[in-house]
Structure formats: C-alpha cells, structure tokens
C-alpha cells in the first residue's frame, strides 16, 4: 500500500512536471502578444486618464478655457519636460523658426538657452545690437522689459526680445563678478548673420572667425584658405561665442583639415538615428598647423568642430571650456502650421567621448583679458650709446615706419596692438609661431 502511494505520487510529480513544461512553452509563445496587450492596455489607461483630467479642468477651472487651448498647454508642458531643447511649436513659433532659418530677422542678435532653469546667454552674434551693447556669454537674463523670466520658456523669451527694428528693449542681467544686476539698454536691429570673417596676422598666419554655422560656412572657409594658401603657414580658427548651427557645415569644415577617420557620430534610440560622419582625403585642402579658440559661448556645431580637431591631434585648442550641448534636435510638423522640436540623438566625438553637459576642454586654458605692458624708462639700449651705428638704425627705423603705414592702410590684418587686447588670441598666435618654427 505504501509503494502504491509512492508510485501514485511519482505519477503526479511527472504529470505536474510535464504540465509546467507545457505551460512554460505556452507562456513563451504568448509572451510577445501578452506584452503587446499590456502595452496597449497601459496606453488606453493613460489616454483615459488624460481625457478625464481635460474634462475636469474644462468643467471646474476658474477661467473659461477651450479644449484646444488645454491641448496646446498640455503639449507644451509635455515637450518642455522632456529636455531643455525639445518644445512644442505653435503656429506663431513655427513661423518664427522658419524666418530665423532664412538668415535675416529683427531682434537683438543673441543665442539663449536654459542653464539650471535660468535663461542664459549662450553667445552674442558678432556686430549685432546685443554684441555692441556689451552682452556676454554666460549672462543670466532676469527680466525683459520688467517682465521676470522665471518660469518663462525660451520661445516666450525670444518672442519678447524680437520686435520692430529700431525699437528699444531693456534687459536686467546677472553677470559673474558683478555685485548687483546690470541693466542693458538695446535698440533692436535687422539681424543679418555674416558667418565667416578673415584677416592676416604677420603676413603668414590666416585668422578665420566663424560666428555661426549657416549653410555656406564650409564653402566660405574653403574659399578663404585657397585665396591665401600661397602665403599661409598657420591658421587660427576662432569659434568663440559660436552658438552652433547646421551639422553638415560642421562636418564639412572639419573635412577640410582632416583626411581620414570619424568626424562625429550620433546615437539615438531608433537605429535610423544612429549615424557616423567620416572625413575624406579628397576634401582636405590644407595641412598647415592650426589653433582653435573656444570659450563658454562655443556650443553645438562649434563643439563638434573643435572636439574633432582635438581628437585627431590636428589642432591645439586654446581658451575656456565650451558650453556642452551635444544633442540632436529635429523639427517634425504635426499639422501644416504647427510642429514639435524633439531631441532624437546625442553627438559623440571621434574618441567616443560625449559633449553633452561636459563640453570640450581646451588643451591650454586661457581666460579672456588684455596684456598690460609697462615701459621701462630707465633701461639703456644700444641706440642710447654715443657713436652707435646711426646709419643702420635709420634703415631699421625706416622699415618699421613703412610697416606701420602699410598696416594702417589695411583693414584685413590684426596688429600687435589688437593682439595685446585679446590675450586668448595672442596665446594662439604664439603657439602657431612655435609650430611653424618646428615644422621648418
């Protein structure tokens, strides 16, 4: 009787095992379908919750508000809470973005962003009303014409700062090193961006200033290099206060200096958003020594250029740590007149390091400022001695005077006096001269 019980239990055990195995296989087969069902159920629950909240707000809110207004507010809140660069573009916002892309608009000439919840100047654009008025990278905007920016979106701030040409605006800002807020008075103007400016230093160093990455930057820089190629022994690329722009222009610019390897890669959640951009030897136009100037206003595309050149050991970076915007945004229309701007990927430099929130650290850190010189009235030189070689001195002095006259007649050069007013540029020039000597 005992054995029978044991045998019976054995059969039960085997049956249970087979049953469990069968159940496991069944669950494995239906696992995907189950997940899809759960996902769909969760989506329906979330939509039901959203609809219920819309209905309650519309019914009980103190103000009479339409369903369209509620939806717009909900979309705006959802996009803003994703990250600092994603947002919902209303008809007015979308139109404004399209105007800005055309390259000419009325406003102040600054690029702004949210940094730790504060409306911050990323960079003023060269020669614009904001630049002339003295706004600087890193300035925090507290008020726009007495309207507090606390809780204000970037688009709302931009809307307030733009306006009719020749109309005034007052910004209250907080600046590092200043004990109290500053009031900056600016008169709005037509903002036409000239992205590339070139000058010569000491007749053999080409200075290239790129203010932003619009659709012709790579072409304009290539033209400038080819025009001065015969005399150029070194290049200084100035990306300070460059807020970025088009990715293809950043890639194209690096390609002019690097003949092989990865320039930048982007990685997103979707496979289609993962891309690698590489250099081509056929597009390289120069291999002379380079220095790249960067600061806290260098963002996005300018960080890709400076970081790629640094990783390829193609240039020496001088200045301050860059802004740290290493994400990819696209504008996706949702109707004919409305769209969303969404972050879809992150950028990575050739070495695999990220730009996002850390920026690019220069090889040589130099804070902005001027070089102060003091003339020593008590020093004695050869020219102060009696019976020195007067004739030779006259020759040298005559040459110096001629050089000074030549420099005064040219607007496309940077003089020693100008260098002394920009210590970062001066440091860059000194490094380039050393590299030229080493290369012979």
- Residue 299 in contact with residue 122, Cβ under 8 Å? yes
Higher pLDDT, 118 or 378: 118
**Tens digit of pLDDT for each residue in 49-76?**
999 999 999 999 999 999 999 999 999 9
Catalytic residue among 137, 195, 300, 327: 300
The rounded distance, in Å, linking the Cα atoms of 196 and 374 is 35
Query: Which uninterrupted H or E stretch holds 2?
Result: helix 2-60
Q: For position 350, what pLDDT does the model report?
A: 98
Q: For position 403, what pLDDT does the model report?
A: 53
Kindly report the number of other CB atoms within 10 A of residue 84's CB atom: 15
Catalytic residue among 131, 137, 195, 325: 325
The rounded distance, in Å, linking the Cα atoms of 49 and 53 is 6
Nearest to 155 by CA among 222, 238, 229, 72: 72
Which CATH code, of 1.10.540.10, 2.30.42.10, 2.40.160.40, 1.10.150.130, is assigned to 104-192?
2.30.42.10
The rounded distance, in Å, linking the Cα atoms of 290 and 256 is 12
- Residue 165 in contact with residue 187, Cβ under 8 Å? no
Q: What is the DSSP letter of 320?
A: S
15 by Cβ neighbours in 10 Å (0-12 / 13-18 / 19+) ranks as: exposed
- Residue 112 in contact with residue 120, Cβ under 8 Å? yes
- Sign of the torsion formed by the C-alpha atoms of 108, 137, 122 and 322: positive
Hey, is 99 helix, strand or coil?
A: helix
Higher pLDDT, 368 or 41: 368
- 196-365 is classed CATH 3.50.50.60: no
Q: Can you spell out the DSSP letters for 151-184?
A: T--HHHHHHHH--STT-EEEEEEE-TT-SS-EEE
- How many whole angstroms from its chain centre is CA 228? 28
Q: Residue 307 to residues 217, 220, 321, 371, 401: CA-CA distances in angstroms?
A: 18, 21, 11, 28, 42
For residues 370-395, average pLDDT: 65
Considering the chain, what is the average pLDDT of its residues? Answer: 85
Residue 189 CB contacts under 8 Å (≥ 6 apart), including other chains:
106, 107, 109, 128, 129, 165, 166
Q: In the structure, what pLDDT confidence band is assigned to residue 156 with cuts at 50, 70 and 90? A: confident
- Residue 308 in contact with residue 350, Cβ under 8 Å? yes
Whole-structure pTM value: 0.75
Hey, is 234 helix, strand or coil?
A: strand
Tokens 């050089």 appear where?
403
**Tens digit of pLDDT for each residue in 85-125?**
899 998 888 877 766 555 556 789 888 888 888 999 988 88
Catalytic residue among 131, 238, 311, 422: 311
**Tens digit of pLDDT for each residue in 223-250?**
999 999 999 999 999 999 998 988 999 9
Q: Is position 325 annotated as part of the catalytic site? A: yes
Q: Residue 342 to residues 24, 80, 88, 152, 328: CA-CA distances in angstroms?
A: 41, 10, 9, 19, 8
Q: Is position 311 annotated as part of the catalytic site? A: yes
Strand partners, 170: 185
Higher pLDDT, 440 or 112: 112
Residue 105 CB contacts under 8 Å (≥ 6 apart), including other chains:
99, 162, 190, 191
Nearest to 176 by CA among 136, 149, 146: 136
List the chain domain ranges. Answer: 104-192, 196-365
Nearest to 277 by CA among 261, 260, 264: 264
**Both structure tokens of 294:** 């960067």
């Amino acid at each position: 009787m005992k054995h029978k019980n044991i045998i019976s239990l054995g059969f039960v055990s085997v049956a249970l095992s087979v049953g469990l195995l069968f159940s496991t296989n069944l669950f494995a087969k239906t696992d995907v379908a189950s997940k899809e069902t759960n996902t769909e159920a969760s989506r329906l629950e979330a939509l039901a919750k959203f609809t219920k909240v819309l209905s309650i707000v519309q019914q009980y809110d103190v103000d009479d508000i339409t369903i369209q207004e509620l939806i717009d507010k909900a979309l705006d809140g959802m996009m803003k809470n994703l990250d600092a660069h994603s947002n919902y573009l209303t008809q007015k916002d979308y139109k404004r973005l399209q105007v800005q892309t055309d390259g000419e608009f009325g406003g102040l000439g600054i690029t702004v962003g949210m940094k730790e919840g504060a409306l911050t100047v990323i960079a003023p654009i060269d020669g614009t009303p904001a630049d002339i008025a003295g706004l600087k990278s890193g300035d925090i905007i507290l008020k726009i014409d007495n309207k507090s920016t606390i809780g204000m979106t970037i688009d709302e701030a931009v809307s307030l700062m733009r306006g009719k040409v020749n109309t005034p605006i007052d910004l209250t800002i907080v600046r590092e090193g200043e004990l109290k807020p500053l009031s900056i008075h600016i008169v709005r103007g037509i903002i036409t961006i000239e992205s590339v400016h070139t000058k010569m230093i000491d007749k053999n160093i080409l200075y290239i200033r790129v203010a932003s990455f619009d659709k012709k930057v790579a072409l304009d820089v290539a033209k400038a290099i080819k025009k001065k190629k015969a005399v150029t022994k070194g290049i200084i690329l100035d990306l300070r206060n460059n807020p970025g722009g088009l990715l293809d222009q950043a890639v194209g610019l690096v390609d002019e200096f690097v003949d092989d390897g990865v320039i930048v890669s982007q990685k997103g959640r979707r496979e289609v958003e993962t891309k690698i951009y590489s250099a081509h030897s056929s597009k390289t136009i120069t291999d002379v020594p380079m220095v790249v100037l960067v600061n806290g206003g260098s963002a996005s595309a300018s960080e890709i250029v400076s970081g790629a050149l640094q990783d390829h050991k193609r240039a020496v970076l001088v200045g301050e740590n860059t802004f740290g915007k290493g994400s990819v945004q696209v504008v996706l229309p949702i109707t004919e007149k409305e769209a969303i701007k969404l972050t879809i990927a992150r950028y990575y430099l050739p070495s695999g390091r990220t730009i996002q929130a850390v920026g690019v650290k220069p090889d040589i850190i130099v804070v902005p400022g001027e070089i102060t010189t003091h003339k020593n009235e008590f020093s004695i030189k050869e020219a102060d001695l009696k019976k020195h070689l007067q004739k030779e001195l006259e020759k040298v002095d005559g040459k110096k005077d001629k050089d000074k006259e030549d420099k005064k007649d040219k607007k496309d050069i940077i003089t020693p006096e100008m260098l002394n007013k920009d210590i970062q540029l001066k440091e860059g020039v000194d490094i380039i001269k050393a590299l030229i000597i080493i290369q012979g």
